[in-house]
Structure 1
Amino acid sequence: MIQVDALPLHELRERTSEKWQEYPADVLPLFVAETDFAMAPTVKAALQKALDAGDTGYIASRSPLAEAYARFAERRFGWQVDLAMTRSTADVSMGIVEILRRVVQPGERVVVTPPVYPPFYDLVEEAGAEVERVPLRDTGTAWELDLDGIRAAFDGGARAILLCNPHNPTGTVHARDSLAALAELADEYGVAVISDEIHAPLAQPSADFTPFLSVSPAARRAGYAIVSASKAFNLAGLKCALMVAADDATARVLRGLPVEVVWRTGQFGLIAAVAAFHEDSDPWLDGLLRTLDRNRVLLEDLLARHLPGARYRIPDAGYLAWIDVSALGLGDSPARRILKEAKVALNAGGAFGAEGEGFVRLNFGTSREILTDAVERIAALVAR
């Protein structure tokens, strides 16, 4: 296992990506889903080789991406992917829209499960459909799919559901039984399940992540998965995702996509993804997971010591913390006040749906020092 540490702050501020350019230098940016770690050596070497060779053209009609991901999925999740039932595209969001355009008609409804990744709402509208909200159930100790609510939505005519697994922003890895029940409902009503599994490589080993398409024959008939190395390996700007089917009928949908959907895949994104999914990258990924495990526990300790009124559940996956700050007296827009007065940039919970009011999303994919500084700044604001 490789030790994966965040870069020092002065090096991070040299980056030109959204995370480090959106706000002035006195702000600690813990909002957008980028991480602060050095690139995995295997990925860096693959990109450097491509640069040295001037390998910067269009993606080839035949590439090793599907095979690389299939081997990754077998190693990490015990899931067997059929290479012939895959297509690449630029990113997960594009894959969602393009599949939705082919499984729902204009004006039909698509279920989302708030609080959820804010672009989901826009992607449904981009596809010409309408959003139907079925919030996650809060059991008091965890979040889970509201299967009764989802059944009611399907019974009322919803034609698809966007599944976020692992879930953003809560970090929930949905239980196999829950996914199996969703698959049965979708199969019964003829509803498409589009599973965004971009955070799957970041599921902690103890969380027992289950790919939706691996759950059952019903899941394979109803489902599509969209996967990417971008979140785990911090490659969002390189543009590469993989759409996966597991049934002849759904595979025909992928094969029927316009060739431009595939050609929008970035050449560097594809090269980086193939390297990321290779077994040689596993030690780096395991090291990253270990670092994130320490950070998610550190955050719990920091909040308990400095902001005991905040409520936080350690996530099963990823590097995003969903924190209820409604008891801290920060007003109706806590993220805005934290940014203005504490100089810490977080995501406002309300952007994820009405269920997120009073929450903030914090990115702990950073150094222990930055994470500690951020919580202490917020604590000082609350104390004032």
Structure 2
Amino acid sequence: MNPLDQLTLDQLRARRSIKWSLYEPDVLPMWVAEMDVLLADPIREALEGALAIGDTGYPGSWPLVDEFVAFADRRWGWAVDPKLVAPAAGVIPAYVDAFIEDTEPGDEIVITSPVYPPFTTYLRQAGRVVREAPLTADLRLDVAALEEALEAATAPAEGSTTRRRAGLLLCNPHNPGGAVHTRQELEAVAAIANRLDVTVVSDEIHAPIVYSGAEFTPYLSVDGGERGIAIQSASKAFNLAAMPAAQMIAGTERRAWLAQYRKGAHGHATHLGTIAGTVAYRDGESWLDALLQGLEANRDTLHAFVSDQLPGVTVSRNEGTFLAWLDFRGTAAAGARDLGEEPSKLLLEEGRVALNPGTHFGLGGAGHARLNFAAPPAVLDEGLSRIASVVTG
């Protein structure tokens, strides 16, 4: 059964999560990365069991790390040493903590734009300077641009010959657009980072959401990735944002670093998030496989609709994630309506459909919007029709 085809629009509108409560009731929300699904039965049953006995304290004996390690081996053939995995409060706290350990306020962190907006906001809040290395036009890593940005980020300060410390925050699979970085791409990144002594942190929260024809490659598994840090979580693939839990995985050359990290004061995963993540990794793969089929069908529906019904608009051909990147810059040349630098504004005002504003994603965002296609097929169809009503208006 397709997990995306179990809830009606009326049932979804009863939700009080931010996706369904931020806008007026007539707005169709297709923005934030929440999926319109029920929990996988094993996860729901485990959580209901915990709530029934008031098991809502601090994290305890649920074997999240061990089940993640087993999942990584089954899913990707990635042999992870459990001693190199540390539970974390969530993906964002984990990557901020990693850079706090390895860099100082004022140091630069390179990101590959357009990219998930909290990469910028949280790093700046931590006192780091963000430098953007734009992706290619087809939303893949631009190794030359990345090397140029990392060279600049590590360039010696005036009067010094010592290179500065810097970091690189990767997003794999990439959000937005869903590019799944290849082993060759990641090895090129690792070679540059290691030459410049740059700390690479790979946000791999979307790793389980990869479609046919693509293959997820963990950064720590590539040649040169041994000095990196990866962040994983079950939260995106199993829709568990309300119950945070993540895993920080250190590369094999970072054992001493991880031991030092463990001595620090860091937030911890929630108990319910630990339960949910453990069960997701252990018992959720059949549900995940059904979800991927539904998501891939939705992706294909989106691609066909844009090609046939939205003149001048192009859309990412997602290899992974459920977060598509729509480019509206060609509409006027195609005889359709010019939606300007922030298409999401008119789509919300006139079409009553909410997408993420492209400019929030950094360089390359103007004229774009991000669309979440993890919705029931009927809801996706309605949202696309609303977009068409504005574009072809």
TM-score range, shorter chain: over 0.9
- CA distance in 1: counterparts of 2:326 and 2:287, whole angstroms: 28
TM-score, L = length of structure 2: 0.92
Report what 1:25 is aligned to: 25
**RMSD between aligned residues:** 1.5
CA offset at residue 151 of structure 1? Answer: 2.0
CA offset at residue 262 of structure 1? Answer: 4.4
Which structure 2 residues correspond to residues 87-98 of structure 1 after superposition, within 5 A? 87-98=86-97
CA offset at residue 189 of structure 1? Answer: 1.4
Which residue among 183, 186, 206 is the counterpart of 1:199?
206
Q: Write the letter of the residue equivalent to 1:301.
A: A
Q: Secondary structure at the match of 2:116?
A: coil
Q: Write the letter of the residue equivalent to 2:289.
A: D
> Relative to 1, partners in 2 of residues 1:26 and 1:262: Cα closer, same or farther, differing over 3 Å?
same
Between 118-127 and 268-277, report the one with greater CA deviation.
118-127
Equivalent residues of 1:306, 1:375 under 8 A apart: no
Which residue among 278, 281, 297 is the counterpart of 2:300?
297
Report what 2:279 is aligned to: 275
1:149 lines up with 2:145 in the alignment: yes
CA offset at residue 170 of structure 1? Answer: 1.4
CA offset at residue 259 of structure 1? Answer: 5.7
Equivalent residues of 2:323, 2:370 under 8 A apart: yes
Unaligned runs of 5+ in 2: 155-165, 332-337
> Relative to 1, partners in 2 of residues 1:382 and 1:147: Cα closer, same or farther, differing over 3 Å?
closer
Equivalent residues of 1:338, 1:378 under 8 A apart: yes
Q: Secondary structure at the match of 2:320?
A: coil
> Relative to 1, partners in 2 of residues 1:155 and 1:303: Cα closer, same or farther, differing over 3 Å?
closer
Report what 1:183 is aligned to: 190
Which structure 2 residues correspond to residues 342-381 of structure 1 after superposition, within 5 A? 342-381=351-390
1:215 lines up with 2:219 in the alignment: no
CA offset at residue 175 of structure 1? Answer: 1.0
Which structure 2 residues correspond to residues 1-384 of structure 1 after superposition, within 5 A? 2-6=1-5, 7-60=7-60, 63-138=62-137, 142-158=138-154, 159-216=166-223, 218-221=224-227, 223-249=228-254, 252-253=257-258, 255-257=260-262, 260-263=265-268, 265-278=269-282, 280-328=283-331, 329-384=338-393
- CA distance in 2: counterparts of 1:87 and 1:255, whole angstroms: 12
- CA distance in 1: counterparts of 2:153 and 2:324, whole angstroms: 34
CA offset at residue 42 of structure 1? Answer: 1.1
Q: Secondary structure at the match of 1:156?
A: helix
Q: Write the letter of the residue equivalent to 2:196.
A: Y
CA offset at residue 248 of structure 1? Answer: 4.5
CA offset at residue 124 of structure 1? Answer: 1.7
- CA distance in 1: counterparts of 2:130 and 2:35, whole angstroms: 30
Between 356-365 and 47-56, report the one with greater CA deviation.
47-56
Q: Secondary structure at the match of 2:330?
A: helix
CA offset at residue 293 of structure 1? Answer: 0.5
CA offset at residue 96 of structure 1? Answer: 0.8
Equivalent residues of 2:170, 2:202 under 8 A apart: yes
Q: Secondary structure at the match of 1:160?
A: strand
- CA distance in 2: counterparts of 1:113 and 1:121, whole angstroms: 11
> Relative to 1, partners in 2 of residues 1:260 and 1:266: Cα closer, same or farther, differing over 3 Å?
farther
Between 31-40 and 200-209, report the one with greater CA deviation.
200-209
Q: Write the letter of the residue equivalent to 1:238.
A: M
Residues 192-232 of structure 1, C-alpha deviations (whole Å, 9 max, x = no match): 1000000001011421110100112x2012x1000111111
- CA distance in 1: counterparts of 2:281 and 2:120, whole angstroms: 30
> Relative to 1, partners in 2 of residues 1:36 and 1:258: Cα closer, same or farther, differing over 3 Å?
farther
TM-score, L = length of structure 1: 0.94
Equivalent residues of 1:87, 1:255 under 8 A apart: no
Identity of matched residues, %? 40
CA offset at residue 308 of structure 1? Answer: 2.7
How many matched pairs?
Answer: 375
Give the structure with the larger helix fraction.
Answer: 1
Equivalent residues of 1:239, 1:266 under 8 A apart: yes
Q: Write the letter of the residue equivalent to 2:139.
A: W
- CA distance in 2: counterparts of 1:254 and 1:95, whole angstroms: 15
